[in-house]
Each structure stands twice: as C-alpha cells, then as structure tokens.
Amino acid sequence: MTRGLLLSRELGFLRIGLAVPPLRIADIDFNVKSIIGMMHDAGRAGVQVLVFPEMAITAYTLGDLVQHRMLLSRAKEGLSRVMEEGREAPPMLVILGLPLEVNQQLFNCAAVLNGGRILGIVPKSYLPSYREFYEGRWFSPGKGFPVDHISLLGNTVPFGTDILFSLADIPDAVIGVEICEDLWVPLSPHEYQALTGATVLVNLSASNELISKADWRRTMIGSESGRCLAAYCYVSSGTGESSNDAVYGGDAIIAENGTILAESARLSPAPQLLIADVDLERLVHDRRLSNSFHLASRQEGKFRMTTAVVSDPLVDQLRRPLDAHPFVPRDPQQRAQRCREIFSMQVAALAQKLVSAGKAHLVLGVSGGLDSTLALLVAVKTMDYLGLPRQHVHAYSLPGFGTTARTRSNAVRLCRALGVSTEKVNIIHACRRHLRDLGHDGQPDIVFENVQARYRTEFLFNRANQLDGIVLGTGDLTEIAVGWCTFAGDHISHYHVNASVPKTLVRYLVKWVAEEEMPASPARKVLFDILQTPISPELLPPEEGKIRQKSEEIIGPVELIDFFLYLFVRSGTRPGKVLFLAEQARRAGLFDTRYTPEELVKWLKVFIGRFFASQFKRTCFPEGPKLGSVSLSPRSDWRMPSEAVARMWLEDVDAMQARLYGLD
C-alpha cells in the first residue's frame, strides 16, 4: 500500500490555489462569505498559498463608492472576519485584495494573512488611468510611499512594496506580491522580487476581457515566469464585477518557468478554484545554473522578509501536468514542427562542418537500425543543401556475426532508394582473424562483440582517408547517456550528428522524414519497416534468423531512460523524486508500456549505474550539434569526473521505494 509523502519537505513542491469567488459589488458580507467558503475548499485540497483577485472583499468596479468611509470601514471588518476564520483553518498563506486608507490617502492593497495574523500589506505600485481605467482618480501609488508600517485592526503591520514572504521549513518558497497593472509595465515589481529571491510571484488582478487580450495575457505570464525563473500565479476578478462598460472573465493562470501548469475557464458563472503544484526544487536548480540571473540580482535594492507557517500536506497525487515523454511534444502539429526544426538544424550543422573542413564526402556505416538511418537521411539532405551529388555520401553495410537478413536488406534497399554510393563489406572474416590473433576461442563475450564494433570504425576512418571525407557518427543521446556504445568503436567519429537527439525522438524524426520528405519515394516503405525493427547493436549471432540481442532488455526501455535522463540532467531532480514522478506517470497510464513498480525501480537503478559508469566515454566524445535543452557534450554542457560514486543516488532510490510502496 502506497504511503503519503510530504508535498514540500520530501518532494520539493508547493501547492498554489487561485480562487475566483462569486462576488457582488459593495456587498462585503456576501463577498467575505464566498472568500471563507473557498478558503475551506482550498484547505481540504491541501493548498498552501491561496490567492484571491484584486479588491475581492469589496469587488473592484466600485467607482466613486470606494471613497466612502462606510465602505472602507466595512472592508476592514470583512478582513477581520477572514482573519478570524484563518485561526481555525489549516495554516496557509492567504492573499486577498481590498481598499485601505492610510494617512488620509487611499490605496489598492493586497493583504497577506497567515494563521489569523496580517503578515503585511502590499499596495499597488502602478495605477492605470487610461482608456477604461480611472484608478488615479481614487488611489495613491504605493511605490515610493514613505510609510513602512501601519496600524490595522489593532496591530502594527508592515506596509509597502518592498515586502517578501517566506515559508517556514520550506526554504525555497519565497512569495512576492504585485497587483494587476504592476505586471504590464516595464521593470515590473515582480522582476525585482525575483532577483531578490522570490520563487513564487503572485498577481491579484481585475483585468477586463477584450478580444485577443487573454492570448496576450497568457503569453506574457508564461514569458515572465520563464524570464524570472519562477512560478507566476495570476488571478483576476470574475463575472460578478460590473458590466457597465467592461466585461470581467475570472482569468486564472499558474505558470512555471515558461510552462503553463493550469488555467481557468474564463467567463464562467461558477466559482473556480485553480490548483497546481509548483516544483520549487526545479526553479532553484535553474537559478543555480544561471550566473546571469544572479549578476542581475546584485544591482537591486533590499526587501523586507516576513515568515509564515503553512501546512505540509501528505500527497499521493500531484496537481500538475506530467509528461512521460518530455522530449516528444504530444500535439501532432507541434511534434511535426519540432521534427522539422531539428532535422533542419542537423543539416545546417553538418553542412557547416563540411564547408569549414574543406571536405565534400561523407562516410558512414548503415545497419538498418534507427540511428544510422537518421544519420543517413541527414547526410543526404545535407548534400542537397550544399548542391553536391548524393553519391558523395558513402554508406557501407558492414554485416557481422549478429547481422540479420532483415536489417542487412533494409540498409541496402534504403541506400539504393536514396541514390547514395553504397557497398557491402562483410567483416566476419576479418573479425575471426583478429580473434585468432588475440587467442580468443570465438565464443560470444564482450571481446567478441567489441571486435566487430571497432573493426567497423577502423574501416570507416580508413575509407574516409581514401575518399578525403569525414566519418559521420550515428549514436543518439539516449545511448550516450547510458554508455550503450563501444569505446573507440561506434563511440568515435569525426562528427556525431545525432549526439543530442534522444531515442524517443529519433523514431518520430525518421517517421516525419518518411511522411513529409519522401511521400512518393521507394525509401518510404523501407523507413517504415526500420521503424518496426527491434533496437539492437546486432553483435551476437541471431536465433533462427531473428535478432537475439535487444537493447531495451539490457539497458532498459528507451522511454524510461529518456524520462529519467530529462529529469536528472535538465532539472537536477534527485533519483527518489524521479521515481515518485515515474510512479505518478505509471498510475496515470502515460507510458507506452504498462510497467510494474518493481520495473520502475530496477530500470532507474540501471540508468543511474550506467550513467555514472559511462562518463569516461562521454569525456572524449566527438563533436556534435546541441539541438535541445539536454546535452551531454563534455565541452559545453556536462562535466563530471569519471570516478564519481553513484552510491548516494542509488540509496535515494531505495529510500523513496520504501516510502512509496510501504517497504520496511
């Protein structure tokens, strides 16, 4: 039986809730009741930070009514009732808007509450007074106001735009608050907050709906979350606002580092509570990597920090989208565009390498497998790109002890269909002679396998010398990660065109070329058969003519390897958390195969062990173009000592396995 895990302290997530309550203009009793009801809903859902729209206690579209002392007094009473309710509820950070009078001036404010206390009041910095907005008529800007504390409901409370809110026992959680227009200006408050350490940026808004405005809002929120390496959480007033001269739609969006995690249904008559789990550890990891981010932060001013206490709920189910295939877009159109872009980048990179080296010929081995097929397709397209004949691609079928008739036939048929120079060179005789020179008995073992891979590489390099060309490598990012290549064999080339393409994406690239680039070519049929061929280095003799050595039975399913690889390298995710996320994907049926929990643990440990043990191969890996956010190039992206010990990472898997599956 699965045990619950602490959302923040064990998994590094923070649960954010954005509430769009039913509101009535100036009906404070009704609004407070709505707010309290949604606080209870959020508490039951384990929300740790709950945000309401701008001026939620009174509603935003008050006009000149906002200047009436009775309304202002009742708004403070409403705030007091919300605070009182917070004393009895599970501890969370509640942020809601209201108008407040300070020193005979009126401010549009966000009140930040925790456990029945007011932690701080953040006034709006920028007041729109153009087109349909008229805030300068009623409010004073908070930016630059000389008061830093106010008396409110019998307490002395921090007041100002320079306050951040940290969460006790969740060191990566720092919340910055701004209001509506603050998002839309150059050098917004949230930028300074992020540079000072805020990882969660919230915006209380009352943004009206206009044609295409929602698209622009969505783009901007996603972009700002990426620029600030933060979560940006935006919630706007709903349809209860006045429609005299505008329409309000209750737009709510939670974005994390450029990705939209959750989004409300706009213009809905029903209240909405949008919830998402933000990955704080990933945000902080990316900030650690970005020295430019921290260089910018040194130029900014100081903020005051106030600390809140929130619950840390036990969680079995995450409230965030989870991608089991992070390298492969789900949407077919986006996936096709990704393939088109990658293929074009591979061609441009290879063309530049040929031109700069003063070479006009390419040499590669073709096996009838996916990787060499993609490399061959790139080579052919590169010749077209440079205006050179396709015969300048010299593709060699080098059958050995494990080559099957199917792959050998596919390799030859594909080369002929593409019009490249092709030749079959049987390496069995040469390999047997070399094994005899080694005093080897010819029985299958690691020497038996590697002799074939190294002889092929030797042949290709020597042929490249004869042709004055360069050897094109064929291995992919997935194989590089787990060392599924022979050192000084297929591991080496002049240029590795697939070096940053993961295996899960190689499949789609080959399929895309077959469908989009060669719809009428005889190569199309061959490509589809290659797509159905099991992944194998074919170094062991076949059984009854069929492939005996299947890579995925040795190194693990490639979809799991790529899932582990993306999280481990791109996000710096610890292995225990990787296992938790894999279990989430397994339960949701997101993987192509139905794995057992035992299989997830087994293949994650295999991945970690092979990743650490294979660094010596990556350290001297050939050049190849970086195409995505994950690369293992020793020159630009991934540097680690070959002697690094994996024990700590493996122990973390064991610890999470015990927590997840109730093992003693």
In the annotation, is 54 catalytic? yes
CA 599/CA 596 separation, integer angstroms: 5
Residue type, 136: G
Report pLDDT digits (tens) over 497-515. Answer: 999 999 999 999 999 999 9
In the annotation, is 124 catalytic? yes
Cα distances (angstroms) measured from residue 370 to each of 326, 345, 535: 20, 19, 8
Domain with CATH 3.40.50.620 in the chain: 332-661
pLDDT of residue 583: 97
pLDDT of residue 361: 98
Q: Per the residue annotation, which of 10, 54, 191, 559 is the catalytic one?
A: 54
Tokens 């260089």, residue?
A: 295
Q: Smallest Cα–Cα separation from 383: which of 357, 413, 354, 405?
A: 354
CA 14/CA 308 separation, integer angstroms: 14
pLDDT of residue 144: 87
pLDDT of residue 440: 97
Range with the poorest average pLDDT among 22-31, 128-137, 413-422:
128-137
Report pLDDT digits (tens) over 185-217. Answer: 999 999 999 999 999 999 999 988 899 989 999
Q: Is the dihedral of CA 258, 260, 266, 270 positive or negative?
A: negative
Q: Per the residue annotation, which of 124, 381, 503, 605 is the catalytic one?
A: 124
CA 458/CA 13 separation, integer angstroms: 51
Tokens 């009436």, residue?
A: 68
Domain with CATH 3.60.110.10 in the chain: 14-315
Cβ within 8 Å of residue 472, ≥6 positions away = 350, 362, 363, 364, 375, 379, 493, 494, 495, 496, 497
% of the chain surpassing 70 pLDDT = 98
pLDDT of residue 663: 64
Report pLDDT digits (tens) over 450-494. Answer: 999 999 999 999 999 999 999 999 999 999 999 999 999 999 999
Q: Mean pLDDT of all residues in the chain?
A: 95
Residue 77, pLDDT > 90, answer yes
Report pLDDT digits (tens) over 223-232. Answer: 999 999 999 9
CA 93/CA 166 separation, integer angstroms: 10
Structure token pair of residue 256: 């994390």
Cβ within 8 Å of residue 568, ≥6 positions away = 575, 578, 607, 611
Q: Smallest Cα–Cα separation from 504: which of 371, 364, 340?
A: 371
Residue 295, pLDDT > 90, answer no
pLDDT of residue 299: 54
- Return the percent helix, strand and coil in the chain, to nearest 5: 40, 20, 40
Query: With contact defined as beta carbons under 8 Å apart, do 562 and 504 qualify?
Result: yes
pLDDT of residue 300: 57
Residue 150 DSSP SS3: strand
Report pLDDT digits (tens) over 562-586. Answer: 999 999 999 999 999 999 999 999 9
pLDDT of residue 428: 96
Q: Per the residue annotation, which of 10, 85, 109, 180 is the catalytic one?
A: 180
Query: With contact defined as beta carbons under 8 Å apart, do 618 and 539 qualify?
Result: no
Query: With contact defined as beta carbons under 8 Å apart, do 20 and 31 qualify?
Result: no
pLDDT of residue 133: 85
Report pLDDT digits (tens) over 368-412. Answer: 999 999 999 999 999 999 999 999 999 999 999 999 999 999 999
pLDDT of residue 86: 85
Domain at 332-661: CATH code? 3.40.50.620
Domain at 14-315: CATH code? 3.60.110.10
In the annotation, is 76 catalytic? no
Report pLDDT digits (tens) over 587-617. Answer: 999 999 999 999 999 999 999 999 999 999 9
Residue 3, pLDDT > 80, answer no
pLDDT of residue 130: 85
pTM above 0.85, yes or no: yes
Backbone angles phi and psi of 130, in degrees to 5: -145, 155
CA 334/CA 461 separation, integer angstroms: 38
Report pLDDT digits (tens) over 259-290. Answer: 999 999 988 889 999 999 999 999 999 999 98
Q: What is the DSSP string of 341-398?
A: HHHHHHHHHHHHHHHHHT---EEEE--SSHHHHHHHHHHHHHHHHHT--GGGEEEEE-
Residue 1, pLDDT > 50, answer no
Pairing of strands 163-167, 170-179: antiparallel
Residue 35, pLDDT > 70, answer yes
Report pLDDT digits (tens) over 83-113. Answer: 999 888 789 999 999 999 999 999 999 999 9
How far apart are the two ends of the chain, measured CA to CA in Å? 12
Report pLDDT digits (tens) over 617-650. Answer: 999 999 999 999 999 999 989 999 999 999 999 9
The four Cα atoms 635, 637, 641, 643 give a dihedral, to 10 degrees, of -120
Residue 163, pLDDT > 60, answer yes
Report pLDDT digits (tens) over 404-457. Answer: 999 999 999 999 999 999 999 999 999 999 999 999 999 999 999 999 999 999
Report pLDDT digits (tens) over 535-554. Answer: 999 999 999 888 989 999 99
CA 547/CA 535 separation, integer angstroms: 9
pLDDT of residue 341: 97
Report pLDDT digits (tens) over 330-379. Answer: 999 999 999 999 999 999 999 999 999 999 999 999 999 999 999 999 99
Q: Smallest Cα–Cα separation from 476: which of 370, 612, 339, 591?
A: 370
Backbone angles phi and psi of 185, in degrees to 5: -100, 155
Residue 297, pLDDT > 70, answer no
Residue 461 CA, distance from chain mean position: 39
Residue 2, pLDDT > 60, answer no
